[in-house]
Amino acid sequence: MNWGEILDLFLRVCDNTPDAQTEQWKHLNWAHEHVCALIDPPELHIPNGNLTAAYDEGPPIVYQDWLATPSFVYSIDWIANKDDGRKLDPEPDGYRGRARYFEDGENRPPVGSPQFWVRRGNRIWFRDTPDAAYEYIYSYRRHPPKASNDTLETSPLAPPQYHMALVKFAGGNFFDLHPPMLPNGALDYQRAQGLLMGAKTDMGEKDDPKAEENMDRRQFVRQPGYEFSIPGR
């Protein structure tokens, strides 16, 4: 299906309410990103992006321990020094753990060659604080391309077998925010849950297997070519 057909299905699922028409692309883009996060399409993997460590040689020299994350980056796999190929280590204790390394009177780690990195919000934080203009390569995943009224004739990045899951995720997200009213005046929260559960089923998520499903009434376990009883039964 193309985005025009998916949009039509989404509006039908949402009873074509004014709120659904107003928020249609917010919910559909959220659902598309969610589906892509689950299936991890290779088209979103960028293995060799370029970064320059935050450092300004102009007078006075400015040392900065963070770098703004490009808006198109969804997640980062690794960061490596472009000159020698050495990968920086993820910060062991995360962003908050960096504070133990701050210099006295400084709200940043000591100046030197960065060895660690951590992402928080829209920034990449380095430790040590870069003392020169370091060039890095990094592997990351992009956000899926945004859909809009200008992309109605194009198709989602997610393969066709996941398009109905996309519609249900979007509808479930909509009704989670706008639960419909039941005849008795109560809010219907089951509408959202039903759609979200249906989307998960369409994505192929299975329930945990139960041992009882593999036993017959005589408590025999069924295996191809074998049949044996449970001790003590």
Q: Give the pLDDT confidence of 171-180 residue by residue, as tens digits.
A: 999 999 999 9
pLDDT tier at 8, thresholds 50, 70, 90: very high
d(CA 172, CA 193): 7
Residue with tokens 């193309």: 2
d(CA 4, CA 34): 19
Amino acid at 16: N
Q: Give the pLDDT confidence of 69-117 residue by residue, as tens digits.
A: 888 888 899 999 888 889 999 999 898 888 899 988 888 899 999 999 9
- Cβ atoms of 35 and 159 closer than 8 Å: no
Amino acid at 201: T
d(CA 123, CA 183): 49
- Domain range summary for the chain, segments of one domain joined by +: 3-41+158-202, 44-142
Q: Given this model, what pLDDT does residue 228 score?
A: 45
Cβ-based neighbours of 8, under 8 Å, separated by 6 or more = none
Kindly give the pairing relationship between strand 111-112 and strand 226-229. Answer: unpaired
The Cα angle at residue 69 between residues 149 and 139, in degrees rounded to 5? 95
233 pLDDT higher than 70: no
d(CA 10, CA 194): 15
Q: Given this model, what pLDDT does residue 153 score?
A: 96
